[in-house]
A and B are shown apart, each in its own frame.
Chain A
Amino acid sequence: MVRAESPPTDREIPVVRVVLPPVALLLGATGAGSALVAPAARIPVAVCGAIATLVVAVLSVALHRRRRAMRAQRAEYEQRIAYLEHRILSHDAETVRLTKEVMPAAIRRLRVGNSPEEVMRDIVDADAANRHLPKALREQIHQVLEVIDNEEARRDSAQRAFVSVARRVQAIVNRQASELREMEDHYGRNPDVFDDLLRIDHGTALIGRLADSIAVLGGARPSRQWPKPVPLFSVLRGAMSRILEYQRVDLHSIAKVAIVGTSVEPLIHACAELLDNATRYSPPQTRVHVTAVEVQTGIAIEIEDGGVSLSEEARARAEDMLAQAQAGINMNDLGESPRLGMAVVGRLSRMYQLQVSLRQSAYGGVRAVLIVPRDMITTGPAPGIAHGIGATSRPTSSLDMSQLQHVVPPPGKRKPKPAATGPVPSVAAPAATGAAAATSHAAPSAAAMEDDLPVVTEWTENGLPQRRSRGRAPLGSHNLPQQPPPTPAPANGFRPGADEGADDGRGEEKPPGLWLEAFTKAVNGVPQERKHGEDSDDAWDKGDLK
């Protein structure tokens, strides 16, 4: 017992030591017994003593052996337990490492576009620390990667389907929009048709924005490309034209810069979503103010509404939504919330490095600030401010200003607007010019009927507008020769002295009359306004009314 720790090499000595005391004791006892008993019994006693001694010796040796063996076994078990505990600990550590390091790395690689097999090769086999992973674990990792890959593929294809549907809608809307624009040009003279066309146009633009939103949420970039830089003012008006209540938006002091073509569409879309948000969540009678100023990092577009102020919590939520969309997680996060706007803005701002922030407005509403980075801005020549106005030069007509000034009536004598047929007072030109200015009569009421008179699109060499040929006889052939000077209508003018007939027909001494005459003829090419061409009147009559 005492020597439990003793090394096995000196095993013999302990055996002897352990066996010796009982054997010696028994031998002594046997000796003493055999000496004490009667001589006749001495021999059997000695024999019994010897046998007992032998038995005890054998037993104690065996006992000792067994104890030793047990001790060795226990030591071995302790070792094994320790080993197993170590194994468990290392296994735990392995699992943690797998979850914390290996799997994320693998998934990251998978997201980048590697196949699960490639990921296994790169992450598990290439890394010495992972090479010894048991087969089952390898299988497990592989399966997880496969599942993720499948899910990813399914999500991708769903998004692609979204995007492709949205693209088709966009294509239709774009075509529709340009057709509508054509029709607007064509029916521009008929206010009723025109207004209806504008309404349809507006509706189409709203559909277009929705399609754009779907495309952006599907991870695509806006499809439309603008080849040339577009002035910021036009961009903002483009954004206005895509929201429902564009009338409530006021543009103030917009910085005179242009946006490079590739950034126009996303910027329009982002602004449209912000404007939509602003108009939608503010009372209908309030206005939304938009300003754009240059700042250090680019252009700051501020959209301010006078709506219900956003509570701190709601603002945090909206910003959160923005941030989430900027992180670009996925469409499921949108859930059933119909407020796609912020998500779209977030996506766009991530794709194009726009900065968006929502703040409390001084008016009590929300102030959205969109920072357009400097590389989206160009100072190069843009096609004028809105609608190419800057590009078109001023009229270069041969009008003589000094003569024309006489035609200007004194202020305050506006033509009464509703009375289209009423005679209008005007001021005669001074006699020095040799001819009186026209007595102004109201516009011929017939003009309102000509709804398919084309807009003036061409110019003659002396700067006069000319209608586009529509397959009829050329302008001069049926119109000019048979047009005698119009008869004066003295009874109608407030000023009988002003005889427009006199200078109308032969206007060579009176440039305004001359060009106006030519112009009127050109404009009135549809013969319903003609006074003296009865034959062609009939022709028109038959042709058009049937």
Chain B
Amino acid sequence: MSGPRRERRKADPDLHDPERLYVITGDLDDSERSALDLVTMVVAQAEPSPTFQPEQAAILRLCQAPLSVAEISAYLSLPFSVVTSLLSDLLATELIESRAPIVRATLPDRSLLEAVMHGLQKL
């Protein structure tokens, strides 16, 4: 990929928390992610209880009003995959509900097909 080099944020190690993301995500092997994307809307169905993981409780608190996955990710400052993993757990226990956003087209659109075609031609 010749995409622009990802810009290097000058990571301040002091700002990081001691815990690593995989602890928040839980088990890597048997985690099956729901098909959520950035614009999927999430609504909480229950109040957070103290037994939840703090991140999940925070999601439930945030999602009293519908909120997109991207926003959750930004508010929690957690990467998208972590959020989807957390949301998958919550979805599995029916504590939240996810809804696709307002989408403008559902058919594979022409530009995408053209992009594929161009890509194939270049091979």
Separation of A530 and B101 alpha carbons in the complex (Å): 16
* B98-A414 in contact (CB<8A): yes
* A545-B71 in contact (CB<8A): no
A495 contacts which chain B residues (CB < 8 A)? none
Tell me the B1-48 residues at the A interface (CB within 8 Å): 1-4, 6-9, 11, 13-14, 16-28, 33-41, 43, 45
B16, B80, B99: the one contacting A188 at CB < 8 Å is B80
Chain A min CB distance to B109 (Å): 5
Tell me the A520-541 residues at the B interface (CB within 8 Å): 520, 523, 527-534, 537-538, 540-541
Q: Chain B: which residue is nearest A442 at the CB level?
A: B100
Separation of A455 and B103 alpha carbons in the complex (Å): 20
* B105-A538 in contact (CB<8A): no
A331 at the interface (CB under 8 A from B): no
B4 contacts which chain A residues (CB < 8 A)? 470-472
B26 contacts which chain A residues (CB < 8 A)? 247
* B73-A455 in contact (CB<8A): yes
Chain B contact residues, CB within 8 Å of chain A = 1-4, 6-9, 11, 13-14, 16-28, 33-41, 43, 45, 50, 54-55, 58, 61-62, 65-68, 70-71, 73-82, 84, 88, 91, 94, 97-107, 109-112, 114-115, 118-119, 122
Given A415-B100, A456-B38, A471-B4, 12 more pairs with CB closer than 8 A: A177-B16, A181-B20, A188-B80, A198-B22, A238-B19, A394-B62, A395-B65, A459-B74, A503-B102, A512-B102, A540-B115, A545-B118
Separation of A185 and B119 alpha carbons in the complex (Å): 28
Instruction: Please judge, given known A-B contacts A198-B25, A387-B17, whether A444 and B37 are in contact too, CB under 8 Å.
Output: yes
A442 contacts which chain B residues (CB < 8 A)? 35, 100, 103, 106
Q: Chain B: which residue is nearest A189 at the CB level?
A: B80
* B19-A241 in contact (CB<8A): yes
A202 contacts which chain B residues (CB < 8 A)? 20, 22
A184, A387, A399, A440: the one contacting B65 at CB < 8 Å is A399
Interface segment, one of A135-143, A229-237, A366-374:
A229-237
B79 contacts which chain A residues (CB < 8 A)? 184-185, 187-189, 194, 455
A452 contacts which chain B residues (CB < 8 A)? 1, 3, 6
17 contacts across the A-B interface (CB closer than 8 A): A182-B11, A228-B14, A237-B23, A238-B17, A247-B26, A386-B19, A389-B76, A395-B71, A415-B100, A418-B35, A442-B35, A443-B35, A444-B103, A448-B37, A523-B38, A529-B112, A531-B110
Tell me the A94-108 residues at the B interface (CB within 8 Å): none
Separation of A442 and B107 alpha carbons in the complex (Å): 11
B65 contacts which chain A residues (CB < 8 A)? 395, 397, 399, 401, 404
A40 at the interface (CB under 8 A from B): no
B115 contacts which chain A residues (CB < 8 A)? 528, 537, 540-541
Separation of A246 and B4 alpha carbons in the complex (Å): 36
* B99-A246 in contact (CB<8A): no
Tell me the A434-482 residues at the B interface (CB within 8 Å): 437-444, 446-448, 452-457, 459, 465, 468, 470-472
Query: Which 7 pairs show the lowest CB-CB distances between chains A and B?
Result: A486-B104, A188-B79, A238-B18, A438-B102, A237-B19, A443-B37, A420-B35
A516 at the interface (CB under 8 A from B): yes
* A517-B17 in contact (CB<8A): no
Interface size of A by CB at 8 A reads 120
* A519-B68 in contact (CB<8A): yes
A201 at the interface (CB under 8 A from B): yes
A21 at the interface (CB under 8 A from B): no
Q: Chain A: which residue is nearest B100 at the CB level?
A: A440
B70 contacts which chain A residues (CB < 8 A)? 456, 465, 519, 523
* B20-A201 in contact (CB<8A): yes
Q: Chain B: which residue is nearest A236 at the CB level?
A: B19
* B91-A417 in contact (CB<8A): yes
* A387-B111 in contact (CB<8A): no
Separation of A408 and B96 alpha carbons in the complex (Å): 11
A279 at the interface (CB under 8 A from B): no
Chain A min CB distance to B112 (Å): 6
A424 at the interface (CB under 8 A from B): yes
* B11-A415 in contact (CB<8A): no
Separation of A375 and B81 alpha carbons in the complex (Å): 38
* A184-B21 in contact (CB<8A): yes
Tell me the A389-413 residues at the B interface (CB within 8 Å): 389, 392, 394-395, 397, 399, 401, 404, 407-409, 411, 413
A186, A198, A237, A456: the one contacting B74 at CB < 8 Å is A456
For A110-141 the 0/1 string (1 means CB < 8 A from B) is: 00000000000000000000000000000000
Separation of A392 and B27 alpha carbons in the complex (Å): 27
* A388-B81 in contact (CB<8A): no
Q: Chain A: which residue is nearest B97 at the CB level?
A: A414
B33, B39, B78, B100: the one contacting A519 at CB < 8 Å is B39
Chain B min CB distance to A103 (Å): 47
Residue of B45, B71, B79, B104 contacting most chain A CB atoms (<10 Å): B104
* B37-A470 in contact (CB<8A): no
B84 contacts which chain A residues (CB < 8 A)? 191
Separation of A437 and B100 alpha carbons in the complex (Å): 11
B107 contacts which chain A residues (CB < 8 A)? 489, 492
Instruction: Please judge, given known A-B contacts A385-B54, A532-B111, whether A408 and B71 are in contact too, CB under 8 Å.
Output: no
Separation of A518 and B107 alpha carbons in the complex (Å): 21
B97 contacts which chain A residues (CB < 8 A)? 408-409, 411, 413-414
* B3-A544 in contact (CB<8A): yes
Separation of A456 and B67 alpha carbons in the complex (Å): 14
A421, A489, A527: the one contacting B105 at CB < 8 Å is A489
A471 contacts which chain B residues (CB < 8 A)? 4
A268 at the interface (CB under 8 A from B): yes
A233, A246, A531: the one contacting B104 at CB < 8 Å is A531
Separation of A246 and B26 alpha carbons in the complex (Å): 8
* B28-A198 in contact (CB<8A): yes
Separation of A215 and B7 alpha carbons in the complex (Å): 34
A198 contacts which chain B residues (CB < 8 A)? 20-22, 25, 28
B103 contacts which chain A residues (CB < 8 A)? 438-444, 500
* B3-A241 in contact (CB<8A): no
Separation of A201 and B21 alpha carbons in the complex (Å): 9
